[in-house]
Structure 1
Amino acid sequence: MKMAIHLIFFILAGIPAFAVQSGDILPSFKIQNQFEEPAELNAETKWIIFSSDMKAAKILTEYLNENAKNFDLSKTLIISDISKMPALVSKMFAIPKMKKYNFKLALDKEGDVTKAWPRQEGTILVIKVDQLKVESTENLTTAETVSSFFKEKFK
């Protein structure tokens, strides 16, 4: 029995805790957006809006394509993990389509930058930061919650 408990503990200890919590300091980074321009998480960033799957990305994209012009997103990093997408598909189809978006989207093509961030299918993770320090997190799962978030936080 003790051996089983030790084995379970050993296995669980090897599983990374995917969490971003209030008080955490996020490392700054630079990647590219869909236009191959630099996209950066730095001390001036106030909001991170992260989608890790197609369902979440679709909800966010549909809203921002219609409404991005109504908000000042200059201190907001909108980022998507596209590492699961085959490179040929992203290069030939997805990224050219993304170039038609009405907002800039940072692309984590390798999945390295966002690997420790929490992921839940169909969920957009919003992280409020100040000087790279996490102040709060919020999960958005519907078009309505996305709309409410932007109308409330980006007045």
Structure 2
Amino acid sequence: MKYGVMLLLSVLCLGAQATEIGERLAPWTLLDQFDQPYSLDQQTSTLLVARGMDAAKLVKAALEDRPKGYLEARHTVFVADIQRMPTLIAKMFAVPAMRDYSYRVLLDREGRVAPRYPGAENKVLWLQLNQGQLVAQREYATAAELREALEQLQP
């Protein structure tokens, strides 16, 4: 019994480790605010992750006045961790409001994806990818910094 518990804990710890530079990200699929699926693929070069509402607001401010398709042209996807948002609030207010955004928001409703990439809840996590492999990782605390970084990406 003792060995079984130790084995279970070691497996759980492996799953909770942060993604390291050089690692290949495991594939996943999430629905966006229009219930359209998106699967992480080899063409994605930047993954933005907002683990909290403050971080999601940073993304919104950074993308203000940007045309539709701005992120897609830069092979960038945005994942919003909304697992702690009450389902009724998400369904009745938050997700319908997101449908007015000029960018796609991949909604992690069950916390299956965002927890793989640990970061501060009030910052936007930026994962730079090359053919699905993590090559750099940063965090942004202001919309201006995030906007400047996005502008550096080639469309």
The alignment's TM-score, normalised by the length of structure 1, stands at 0.83
Shift in Å, 1:69: 4.1
**Partners of 1:128 and 1:43 in 2: how far apart?**
12
Does the 8 A contact of 1:78 with 1:105 survive in 2?
Answer: yes
Q: What runs of 5+ residues in structure 1 fail to find an aligned partner?
A: 1-9
The answer (yes or no) to whether the contact 2:69–2:103 under 8 Å persists in 1 is: no
SS at match of 2:114: coil
Ranges in structure 2 where 5+ consecutive residues have no aligned partner: 1-8
Shift of 1:151: 1.5
Q: CA deviation at 1:154?
A: 3.7
**Residue 132 of structure 1, CA deviation:** 1.1
TM-score by length of 2: 0.83
Deviation at 1:16, TM superposition (A): 6.3
* Alpha-carbon contact 1:54-1:122 (below 8 Å) kept: yes
Structure 2 equivalent of residue 7 of structure 1: none
Count of residue pairs brought into register by the alignment = 145
CA distance in 1, matches of 2:67, 2:140: 17
1:130 positional shift: 1.4
- 8 Å contact kept, 2:47–2:127: yes
Structure 1 stretches of 4+ with a deviation exceeding 3 A read 13-18, 68-72
CA RMSD of aligned residues (A): 2.3
Question: Contact (CA 8 Å) 1:46, 1:128: kept in 2 or not?
Answer: yes
Question: Partner residue of 1:131?
Answer: 131
Larger of the two Rg values belongs to structure: 1
- Tell me whether 16-25 or 137-146 shows the greater mean CA deviation: 16-25
Identity of aligned residues (%): 27
